[in-house]
Amino acid sequence: MGLDFLNRTFRTTAALLLIFVPVGLYYLGFYQTLAILSGGIWGILNVLFITRLVQSTIRAEGAQTSRAVAFALIKFPALYAAGYFLLKVPQFNPIHLLIGFSLLLAVMVLKVLGRLYLGLDNSVHKNEKLQKVH
């Protein structure tokens, strides 16, 4: 399970959000769908910036300070301020924002559970082999 796992998670969540938009517009309404979509996009950007921040700071060759500072400045003041303003939009229900935000986490957890169930990670195979040996 490498860093490509996270990129696949972002793509799956974005695809789910795109699929959800027409369904949400039909069944929920414009602002509710927009709130869930905004929450989802915010969640993807949040984890994307965590990933980029970790990648630029934890490297064998040494940290890329300028990139790390740039990502930290985008994530912590800018993205969190955007989240605050989303919560303050009177048409948006915070519950809908939360549902959108949780979508990425749900996709992530389900993907990890799927990998564990299917035994796709080498470490799982190694553990099984070790258990058989012992």
Partner 1 sequence: MEYQAMLAWALPMGVGLAAVGSGLGLGRAVGSAMEAIGRQPEASGKIQTAMIIGAALIEALTIYALVVFFILSGKIG
C-alpha 37 chain-centroid distance: 13
* Minimum distance of partner 1 from residue 43's CB (angstroms): 8
**23 scored as a contact of partner 1 (CB under 8 A):** no
Q: Which of residues 32-61 bind partner 1 (CB under 8 A)?
A: 46-47, 50-51, 54-55, 58, 60
Q: Which of 18, 19, 63, 87 binds partner 1 (CB under 8 A)?
A: 87
Q: Which of 21, 69, 89, 112 binds partner 1 (CB under 8 A)?
A: 112
Does residue 130 bind partner 1 (CB under 8 A)?
Answer: no
Is 116 one of the binding residues for partner 1 (CB under 8 A)? no
Spatial contact of 97 and 87, defined as CB atoms under 8 Å apart? yes
Q: Which is nearer to partner 1, 25 or 82 (CB)?
A: 82
Measured distance CA(44)–CA(38) in Å, rounded:
10
Strands (E) across the chain are located at none
- Counting contacts by CB under 8 A, is residue 3 touching partner 1? yes
Structure tokens, 47: 């984890």
* Long-range contacts of 4-11, Cβ-Cβ distance < 8 Å, separation of 24 or more: 5/111, 6/47, 6/51, 8/111, 9/47, 9/104, 9/107, 9/108, 9/111, 10/44, 10/47, 10/48, 10/104
Question: Is residue 78 a contact residue for partner 1 (CB under 8 A)?
Answer: no
21, 25, 74, 98: which one binds partner 1 (CB under 8 A): 98
